[in-house]
A and B are shown apart, each in its own frame.
Chain A
Amino acid sequence: MGVLLDVRNLRTEFATRGGVVRAVDDVSWDIAEGETVALVGESGCGKSVSALSIMRLVAAPAGRIVGGQVLFKGRDLLQLPEEEMRRVRGREIAMIFQEPMTSLNPVLSIGRQLTEGLEIHLGMAPADARRRAVELLALVGIPDPEHRLGQYPHQFSGGMRQRMMIAMALACNPSLILADEPTTALDVTIQAQILELMKDLSRRLGVAMLIITHNLGVVARYADRVNVMYASRVVEHGTARELYANPRHPYTLGLLRSVPRLDEPRRARLDPIEGQPPDLTRLGAGCAFAPRCAFRVERCRVERPALVRVGADDHVSACWEAARVRPREAPG
């Protein structure tokens, strides 16, 4: 399948009181048509800013995209006139956010929020837009869609709101959806429903998806490929199977080791990643993970490692010591 979105050497900066923060630092990854790719990392690692940069929604003037290309179907979105970019947003690339309540308009009916996009982006007549809105609500499993159209977001539960967000994202048949922590605010049984729904829809409709999450379980359940981010950079990339079975960056390994897992015997003690995430205004020349890294050698402090191939299917890791990074035998 062809490459749908190709992000190359993207760099985004924010001016803060503490200095310039490079929130996305020379990041490259791609998504093929119909594929699901994950961007994994902890708060402040740059995963959300990556998505906002693709949509050119980084808040100016503090935030600025300072370099790179975002090739979508071959066109560089960073070079498009604003008017054309508006057509891309919503129509060709849609977004789903973590907190549906903050991204829905509380004073507009569910129906209006759905039909607005259809009328503006696709030029549909109101009656057609309404028919399509009913279809969309049914598609995402909202019962009694005719009746629901007249309701307001506060009358929806958290799970129903997230279904509504998905319906809005699908409204104009986009070829790519950027989903930023789509299930983080939801309960575990509702999270399971939404994940199954998204997986099913992306398969049936052939929509490609970028899933942004900190939850390694969510990634394992439905990403084809994974990019792990730390301190604004991609530190490891691979197919989900390869990356989980054979993590080759100490940070990825640390993340996998630090969470208690239901499928493994209970460990007497958890294996945390020691220390704190770095201050992005004070990154040195070396590897940003070095101060917390168990595999650290002298070189890591002074020279930043580039992504190099470490395994099958374009599995890459940015670590001088990648050859030594191996999942330890499970205890007991």
Chain B
Amino acid sequence: MSGNGEVLLEVRDLVKHFPVGGGLFGRSHSLIRAVDGVSFTIHRRETLGLVGESGCGKTTTGRCILQLERPTSGAVVFEGRDLTRLGDAELRPLRRRIQVIFQDPYSSLNPRMTVGQIVAEPLAVHRIVTEPGARAARVREVLAHVGLLPQHARRYPHELSGGQRQRVGIARALALDPSLIVCDEPVSALDVSIQAQIINLLEDLQAKLGLTYLFVAHDLSVVRHISDRVAVMYLGKIVELADRQALYEDPLHPYTRALLAAVPIPDPELEARRERIVLGGEVPSPLRPPSGCVFHPRCPIAVDRCRSEVPPLREVKPGHWAACILA
């Protein structure tokens, strides 16, 4: 299931700044540095996990890849073409190949459309399958992929449970036969007992259809389960990137270590004797990111140099990258 070497997506020095303030009368005078120089690759059939806390830029990174946001600078090279340099007409055929699954199956489905219409909509928009009979057959096929029955096509979203609605969201993403799916917190709105069903489904679909995933999430346990490699983001930057096993068993960045230590484990005996690294303070505003290493104000091991020196993301061990001068 791990990547086989061929790069499907390359993100290079991606930057997305949002102007704020000014508004009605003035020019905007400051920038939110939502994504601030992010680079990574995803290989075909691989799952790259992108984790971090709210506001770290993980969702914006996903949206820049989808071209739902046009990046401020940087490149998004997909199947060999830089999407940031393409106009809408040229993008259209490539957009079919990159789809998205959203977090909230309640708000991301149109309540006035039947499941069948929701799943068929991308086919109509992209004028892929135009003959009604063939389109209905395609809808049945993708519904079957996600474990729904043909009769579900006539139902409305409110008639379905949360888990079933997320299956509809996945079916819609599959309709156009994509190669890359950006999964943006696909299970975090679901109940615990349903999360595992959806994760297993995503894994089965990957094996069956040869899909590649960018899995954006804040739940480190879920990301470890589903990802081949994992990138950790903090305040618009990737602070660590490694194979799943290396990242979880030998985290090199102090932020990754603190994140892992903060995850409560369902075992009271273990929790009672577990070491606590509780980070003080809060994530600073991306309007005024700290100087030097953006993590230094909260870092338990920061030294003087961290205040002034921006640590590059460097390959500390083969395939294991960290942006910390002490790593």
Contact = CB atoms under 8 A, between A and B. Distances in A.
Contacts of A219: 266
A189 B283 CA distance: 9
B268 interface: yes
B310 interface: no
Interface in A4-23: none
A191 B259 CA distance: 11
B278 interface: yes
Contacts of A159: 282
B260 interface: yes
Contacts of B220: 188, 262
Contact of A272 (B200, B225, B263, B278): B200
B60 interface: no
A195 interface: yes
A259 B225 CA distance: 10
Given A240-B268, A244-B267, A272 B282 contact: no
A256 B260 CA distance: 19
B191 A274 contact: no
Contacts of B269: 241, 244-245
Contacts of A43: 162, 191
Contacts, number: 130
Interface in B136-166: 161-164
Contacts of A160: 282
Given A214-B191, A270-B196, A274-B197, A188 B225 contact: no
B196 A259 contact: yes
A260 B225 contact: yes
A267 interface: yes
B268 A241 contact: yes
Interface in A200-221: 214-221
A303 interface: no
Contacts of A195: 264
Contact of B54 (A187, A263, A271): A187
Interface residues of A, number: 46
Contact of B224 (A260, A271, A273, A277): A260
A262 B259 CA distance: 12
A43 B282 CA distance: 29
A157 B53 CA distance: 13
Interface residues of B, number: 44
Contact of A196 (B193, B267, B278): B278
Binding site secondary structure of chain B = helix
B279 interface: yes
A270 B266 contact: no
A192 interface: yes
Given A189-B259, A190-B282, A260-B224, A220 B161 contact: no
B194 A272 contact: yes
A258 B224 contact: no
Contacts of B191: 42-43, 214, 277
B7 interface: no
A259 B266 contact: yes
B246 interface: no
A193 B280 CA distance: 8
Given A220-B271, A262-B248, A269-B200, A187 B218 contact: yes
B224 A220 contact: no
A291 interface: no
A221 to B, nearest CB: 5
Interface of B: 53-54, 161-164, 191-197, 199-200, 203, 218, 220-222, 224-225, 244, 248, 258-271, 276, 278-280, 282-283
24 contacts: A42-B192, A42-B193, A188-B262, A189-B53, A192-B279, A196-B276, A214-B191, A215-B264, A217-B266, A220-B265, A241-B268, A259-B192, A260-B222, A260-B224, A261-B221, A261-B265, A262-B221, A262-B263, A266-B244, A267-B225, A269-B203, A276-B161, A276-B194, A277-B193
Given A214-B192, A260-B221, 4 more contacts: A193-B280, A260-B225, A261-B265, A271-B196
Which 3 pairs show the lowest CB-CB distances between chains A and B? Answer: A217-B264, A272-B196, A187-B53
